[in-house]
Amino acid sequence: MVKIISIILFLITISIFSYTIPYYGMQSIYKTSTNKKTYNRINFKLDNESKTIDSSTLKSEDLLLYTLSNLFLGEKTFSSFAKKHKIKVSDSYLELFDGTPVVVYGTKEKNNEIPQIWLNKETAVPIKVVFRFNNELVTLLFLEYNNQKYGYSFPSKVKIISEKLTTTFSIFF
């Protein structure tokens, strides 16, 4: 009972004191409020090894490069990623992630077995992505966004969780 009351109070507080990302506008909110620039190539260091994401990594077999290039390159990032991984952007709900309000697209209730994208409610950057990669359910947590070299938010710390691997990567420019 206490949990239900807490959730109701949380939802009322959000609706009164802040804006809500329109469920239909996931892509446009991300591009207009956070990442106003578009890049087709990004160079960075991944744990001190030089890496590049570009059109060639959109189909990479490397999970991290694949995800970064599909979420942060070009114009169609979220909508094309969601479509490719059968994430139903029409299904969504509000959630807290480490105390941060997020909008979860892909499901109407908490279920980590369904492909989904979690966006920070205020900044619209990805916080968590759950999808199938090479027939395996994987979760990527975008833990930090400190890099502003390209003029927009790009993750600086990413944790990958899968059946075969759990590891955290640091990204530097």
Q: Above 70 in pLDDT, residue 121?
A: yes
Give pairs for 74-78: CB < 8 Å, separation 24+: 74/38, 74/39, 74/40, 75/31, 75/38, 76/27, 77/27, 77/30, 78/26, 78/27, 78/30, 78/117
Q: Is residue 134 part of a domain?
A: yes
In total, how many domains does the chain have? 1
Q: Which amino acid is at 102?
A: V
Name which residue leads in pLDDT, 133 or 74.
Answer: 133
Q: Is the model's pTM score more than 0.85?
A: no
pLDDT, tens only, 6-58:
666 665 555 544 444 443 344 444 443 444 456 678 888 887 889 888 888 88
Question: Is the residue at 110 inside a domain?
Answer: yes
Whether the pLDDT of residue 160 is over 70: the answer is: yes
Instruction: Specify if 15 maps to a domain.
Output: no
User: What is d(CA 105, CA 102) in angstroms, rounded to the nearest whole number?
Assistant: 10
> Domain of 143?
21-172
pLDDT at res. 57: 84
Sheet harboring 100-105: ordered strands across? Answer: 49-53, 42-46, 166-172, 157-161, 136-144, 126-133, 116-120, 100-105, 92-97
- Average pLDDT on 130-149 reads 87
For residue 54, being part of any structural domain is answered with yes
Q: Is residue 13 in a domain?
A: no
Alpha helix stretches (DSSP H) within 46-116: 63-72, 77-84
